[in-house]
Amino acid sequence: MEGNNISVGLDIGTTKIVAMIGRKNEYGKAEILGIGKSKSLGVHRGVVNNITQTIQSIQQAVQEAEAASGVKIDEVTVGIAGQHIRSLQHSDYITRDNAELVIDEDDIDRLVNQVHKLVMLPGEEIIHVLPQDYKVDGQAEIKEPIGMYGGRLEAHFHVVVGQVSSIRNIGRCVKSAGLELEGITLEPLASANAVLSQEEKEAGVALIDIGGGTTDLAIFRDGIIRHTAVIPFGGNVITEDIKEGCSIIEKQAELLKIKFGSAWPGENKDNEIVSIPGLRGREPKEITLKNLSKIIHARVVEIIEQVYVEIKNYGHEEQKKKLIAGIVLTGGGSQLKHLKQLVEYITGMDTRVGYPNEHLAGDSDDEVTSPAFATAVGLVMDGLRRQEKISLEKAAEEEYNLNEGDAQNGEQVVEQPKKERKSFLDKLTERVKDFLDNAE
């Protein structure tokens, strides 16, 4: 890809596949150069279930984005989500050989690698190990142990687990579409990066990303991700219910939901009626908006209640875990009328709808800042961040090599640049890449 740090996010969703091309502008904001989307055939509840169709949809989205931006796409940062993702809490410790030395990156790596050895269910793999807080020699609530003395280093971890086969299938689709995997990211994390402000993450916030097939939840507090969950329902089940409840075809149900749907049944008068053309010369159907919103309401309440159970599981009701910034709704499903009011009513938490403009350039297209593109924008940002890290490492190494040369002329030697710790996703990406290369 061209040297001017362009990154491509590929959001493989249940309803749509989005390819988004972005780069960093001089103010450090992400500028979206082009966007392509295609109907997602072959993805069910966030999981690929038809490889051939998914490959075609990816290629279509990528071609559209290339045409819109004039940039050729080689590598993509892809998101993983889907109903197979679950998370758990786990504590672990290591005993250090030499308590005379301060704790460094290697100790933390050792601790994290130990968590990776946890025994999972068959076919599952650890995707993320996210440290919550540390204990050194029994002293609790330490945010950053590096540089401290201690013999026993302990930590609480938030561990995210997913199915190996699903992740490999996504890698397979990307590869077969003629693209390289630049990185893999958990979708709720990507959406959160695009939509939430740092203040919200500090104060405590729950991000609810309502997609077509799944609803993703990510909870932050004190700037750290505390809990993630994927609920296997989204906007599609609402459409499905309208279709069944009103005996109409899916296309009509989807249109009804978008145009006239509301999550709050008290809104509509009894006499508000929509007429829907019948199929093939049959009589048109008349549907009251009150009925429509009753159907939507019932299903949305179910989704929100499941999410609320997860928020309670995290411990929102404990004083020191309280989510002061409340809830942020994003994803295509967050555009349902009166959803904010309903969520506030069910959970009693402050709620806003999140648009992915937190880190976008000011003059971005309205389409791009729609909640439906939150994940794609987050993936672009993730790719840009990854590239920045790589170029920083390169620069540090070059500087080291230059100074090495000087050192032979009797000058001071600078010490080797410190390699930044690889994130788990980078390791995962490498593993998926290796697997695909060997599987060829």
d(CA 94, CA 114): 8
The answer to whether residue 270 is domain-embedded is yes
Predicted pLDDT at 431: 78
Nearest to 32 by CA among 11, 8, 63: 8
Give the Cβ contact number of residue 218 at 10 Å. Answer: 26
The answer to whether residue 308 is domain-embedded is no
Predicted pLDDT at 415: 53
* pLDDT tens per residue, range 63-110: 999 999 999 999 999 998 888 999 999 999 999 999 899 999 999 999
Q: Where are the beta strands (DSSP E) in 232-305?
A: 273-276, 285-288
The answer to whether residue 88 is domain-embedded is no
The answer to whether residue 287 is domain-embedded is yes
**Could you tell me which residues come within 8 angstroms of residue 235 by beta carbon, excluding any fewer than 6 positions away?**
15, 210, 211, 212, 257, 332, 333, 336
Q: Where are the beta strands (DSSP E) in 96-223?
A: 124-136, 139-142, 152-163, 180-186, 205-210, 215-221
What's at 261, amino acid-wise?
G
The answer to whether residue 242 is domain-embedded is yes
Would you state the structure tokens that stand for residue 384, as one six-digit string? 């840009």
In the sheet where 124-136 sits, what is the strand order? 86-95, 152-163, 124-136, 139-142
Predicted pLDDT at 81: 86
Concatenated DSSP letters for 297-312?
HHHHHHHHHHHHHHHH
d(CA 161, CA 428): 12
d(CA 86, CA 96): 31
The answer to whether residue 192 is domain-embedded is no
Q: Is 432 helix (H, G, I), strand (E, B) or coil?
A: helix
Predicted pLDDT at 408: 60
The answer to whether residue 282 is domain-embedded is yes
Give the Cβ contact number of residue 289 at 10 Å. Answer: 20
Give the Cβ contact number of residue 302 at 10 Å. Answer: 15
Predicted pLDDT at 409: 59
Which residues span the domain enclosing 269?
Answer: 235-293
Q: Is 285 helix (H, G, I), strand (E, B) or coil?
A: strand
CATH number at residue 277: 3.30.420.40
Predicted pLDDT at 352: 97
Q: Domain tally for the chain?
A: 1
d(CA 117, CA 438): 23
pLDDT less than 70: residues of the chain = 1-4, 267-268, 405-424, 440
* pLDDT tens per residue, range 395-413: 888 888 888 766 665 555 5
d(CA 360, CA 369): 8
Predicted pLDDT at 1: 43
Distances from the Cα of 13 to the Cαs of 82, 144, 236, in angstroms?
A: 9, 36, 12
Predicted pLDDT at 419: 55
The answer to whether residue 401 is domain-embedded is no
